[in-house]
Amino acid sequence: MSTDDLVLRLLERFRDEEVEYVLVGGQAVRLNGFLRATEDVDVLLKATRDNGERVKRAMSFLEASQEIDPAWFEPQSGDVENIRVADDLTVDLLFAANGETYESMQPFVRELLVLGVTVRVLNIDGLLRSKTDYREKDVLDKQVLRRIKERLDH
Amino acid sequence: MRVIGPNKHRSEIELDPVQAYRRGQVLDRMLRSAIPAHTRGVYRGTADTFARMDEARMIEAARKINAR
């Protein structure tokens, strides 16, 4: 399947190239029930050079992605540097989200089928861990996600 | 509170992921029309750096909207 929807196209390409990723951020918040606008796609990635090669191949339909260097995907220490690809779609390639990594988030990954594309996305518990307590946007996300979780639990 | 008019799509909670995705795409288009586009390219930076960049763009957009 191929789609004109750039977000789904990206996630479809990630699946085809076997990128080790999980969708986080606004798109994930939305798929878990809080309908809010977002201007980009945030993905949390396994930090390996191989995964970087796969990401670069998967994103080849976005011209700017050709500037990606897979060496940037090697594990880092200290302040982690993420990657932003700004093109027809803006994609933030993250190696940490509020201190959590691809590996630490595995218990919180769910798979959803969205318009024919399988999407690996954080569940509500994972999203609550990925959000800070100081960014206004994060605080609002957490409030609403907790409300949704309560509703689903009862 | 009484909602006037059709209220089928007023809730901010949408538990069907496909519906949430579709309705979210509409919101995203509205957002994109109100804020300046990212400058194309590839950037590296910490989460705080990107947050500051995003905040600066939002403030710029708010200034433009309020100057009308």
Burial of A147 from C-beta contacts in 10 A (0-12 / 13-18 / 19+): middle
Mean pLDDT computed over A89-110: 97
Q: Identify the contact set of chain A against chain B, taking CB-CB distances under 8 A.
A: 5, 7, 27, 30-40, 64-65, 67-68, 72, 79-87, 90, 92, 94, 96-97, 112, 114-115, 135, 144, 147-148, 151-152
Residue A70 gets which letter from DSSP? G
Which structural domain range is residue A100 located in? 6-147
CATH number, position A15: 3.30.460.40
Give the model confidence (pLDDT) of B22-46 as tens digits. Answer: 999 999 998 888 888 889 999 999 9
- Contact by Cβ (8 Å): A82, A88: no
Query: In B, which residues are within 8 Å of A32 by CB distance?
Result: 17
In a domain, A21, yes or no: yes
In a domain, A153, yes or no: no
Q: How far lies A93's CA from each of A142, B17, B48, B63, in Å?
A: 22, 23, 14, 29
Write out pLDDT tens, residues A44-89.
999 999 999 999 999 999 999 999 999 999 999 989 999 999 999 9
Q: What is the ipTM of this complex?
A: 0.91
Helix or strand holding residue B42 (H, E): strand B41-45
- For residue A103, is it within any domain? yes
Q: Please judge whether B46 and A80 are an interchain contact, meaning their C-beta atoms are less than 8 angstroms apart.
A: yes
* Strand-pair category, B41-45 with A82-86: antiparallel
Q: Is residue A1 part of a domain?
A: no
DSSP state of A112: E
Q: For residues A35 and A130, is the Cβ–Cβ distance under 8 A?
A: no
pTM of the shown model: 0.93
List the 32-51 stretch of B: residues with Cβ below 8 A of A. Answer: 32, 35, 37-47, 50-51
In a domain, A94, yes or no: yes
Tell me how many domains chain A contains. 1
